[in-house]
């Protein structure tokens, strides 16, 4: 039994080494986008549209970052909470959205790389649809408060 444990641990370390470049790349990319002001520009670009459908434009950068990195999204969440407060409408949407959306690109890259999946088929469209549903649910549920 101990030998099986050791074998599993070795396999796990190999997997970590294989996916490490992808993880580092995603984290660096999100950091660059945030530091460059690109995320704020995206928020302003889509702001008119999102405000019309009841989704605060200040949360647009969070939507994009959350698809790549949960830890970077948490940094944005803290900024949102400092600006608007945790019990505000925007704070409520943020909290609900963080819990019902996924880090799509991170998850796909890690699991598909580890499992050596090359044909993702309908995974990305399905994940994006689920994210949109989660965002819509966040707005609806926060509005019920």
Each residue's pLDDT tens digit in the chain (145 positions)?
888 888 888 888 888 888 788 778 777 877 788 789 888 888 889 888 898 888 999 999 999 889 988 888 888 898 899 999 999 999 999 999 999 999 999 889 888 888 888 888 899 999 999 999 999 999 999 988 7
Residue range of the domain that includes 33: 2-143
pLDDT of residue 22: 74
Radius of gyration of the chain (CA): 18
Length of the chain: 145
CA–CA separation, 80 and 89 (whole Å): 11
pLDDT of residue 21: 82
The total of structural domains in the chain comes to 1
pLDDT of residue 18: 80
């Amino acid at each position: 039994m101990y030998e099986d444990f050791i074998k599993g641990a070795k396999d796990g370390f190999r997997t970590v080494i294989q996916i490490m470049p992808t993880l580092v790349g995603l984290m660096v990319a999100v950091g660059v986008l945030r530091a460059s002001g690109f995320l704020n520009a995206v928020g302003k670009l889509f702001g008119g549209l999102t405000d019309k459908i009841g989704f605060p434009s200040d949360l647009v950068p969070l939507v994009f970052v959350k698809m790549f990195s949960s830890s970077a999204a948490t940094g944005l969440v803290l900024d949102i909470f400092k600006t608007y407060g945790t019990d505000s409408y925007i704070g409520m949407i943020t909290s609900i959205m963080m819990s019902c959306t996924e880090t799509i690109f991170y998850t796909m890259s890690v699991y598909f790389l580890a499992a050596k999946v090359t044909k993702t088929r309908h995974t990305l469209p399905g994940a994006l649809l689920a994210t949109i549903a989660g965002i819509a649910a966040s707005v609806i549920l926060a509005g019920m408060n």
